[in-house]
Structures are given as structure tokens and as C-alpha cells.
Amino acid sequence: MSDLELAHAAAFGREPGIIAVAGTGSVAYGRDEKGRAGRAGGLGPLLGDEGSGFWLGRQALKDEALAGRLPRGLALRIAHSKNPVRRAARLAREVLRWAPRDRAARAIRGRAAQELARLAAQLGRELHFSGPVPLSWHGSLFRDPGFRSAFLAAARKENPRFRPRAPGFSPEIAAAALTAPRPGATISL
């Protein structure tokens, strides 16, 4: 099972729904009422990752209003570092920390949330849901309450049928539950 499937299982078990994932990268993954699976985004930093930690960091590096908050020459050091994607993604924590008090950081956070909501809505149009569309989230950016709230507000605007559902447990617990032996099953080594 892929990490996306495990995150989906952690949120919905075997039920249909869409999960938005935002860490260093971003993607939406879902399974509909007919059992069909789909994804939107997840193209990596070269072709996508809108709304991801990398995207947030890159936007902060390019934003003139935030330039004074960042160390001088940071953009050049990150661009020429061994792993520029990961280094830029680390800035997401700072952007989210500044957002409650800084208009520029709040605007970047809002655009990131809109990009993720757009991915989820795209998937909601491609898959079949006859009624409300269960929506959940996973990834480090969603640990920030302001980011999560901005995402949920943007998602409702993108698709009023979205019904948010907090993840039930971690993907690791989902993996353990899915691979645990059933009562009466035998295990052979």
C-alpha cells in the first residue's frame, strides 16, 4: 500500500472520501463510492507541489514584504544548497508562525490553502460522490491550526458538498490495523 492509501485509510477506513496531503510536497488522493481511486497534484517541485511546504518556502523567499524577516542572502544559499527543496520547505514553519501577525505571511498561507483546496475539488469532480463528499487532511502543514482553518474555508468555497472529517488515527496505526491477523487466522513463518 502506498503512503497515500495509508493516509486515506487512517482518515476513512475503507469508506470513500478525499484526503489532502501537505508536507514538503502536496497531493490530493481519493476513493469514490464505486471504489475508484484517483489523485490530483503530486507532481513534485518542478511541475507542481502547489500549497506544499516547499511552495510556501519558495513564496516567502520571493516575497519582498518578508525579505526583512529572512537572513540576508538566504535565497541564494538555499538555491545552491545540496537539497534546495527540503531547505525551502523548512521555511514553511516560519511563514505559518508569522501568519497570525503578518499580512504577507497570512496571504501566502491563504494562497497555499486555496491551492490544496483546488486539488481536492478537482478530484471531487473526477470521482463519483452522490451526496456529501468526505474530506480529510494529512501532513505537517495541517498541524498548524491557522493553516488547517484556511484550508477548510477554501475547500468549502471550492465545493460546498465537502464534509470535513479529522483523521481518525495516524497512517502507521492504519497500516498496523490493515495488516493485523484476523481472529482465527494462522500465521506461518
- Residue 139 within a domain: yes
Structural domain total, the chain: 1
DSSP state of 26: E
Question: Can you tell me which residue has the cell 537572513?
Answer: 71
Full residue range of the structural domain in which residue 87 is found: 3-173
**Domain CATH for 84:** 3.30.420.40
- pLDDT band (50, 70, 90) for residue 1: low
- Residue 124 within a domain: yes
CB crowding 97-106: b at 16 or more within 10 Å, else e = ebbeebebbb
When mean pLDDT is compared over 8-12, 135-139, 167-171, 177-181, the highest value belongs to 135-139
pTM of this structure: 0.84
| CA–CA distance, 25 with 18 (Å, rounded to integer) | 17
Tell me what pLDDT residue 54 has: 92
Asked if 61 and 74 touch (Cβ cutoff 8 Å), the reply is yes
Q: Is the dihedral of CA 6, 8, 11, 13 positive or negative?
A: negative
- Residue 87 within a domain: yes
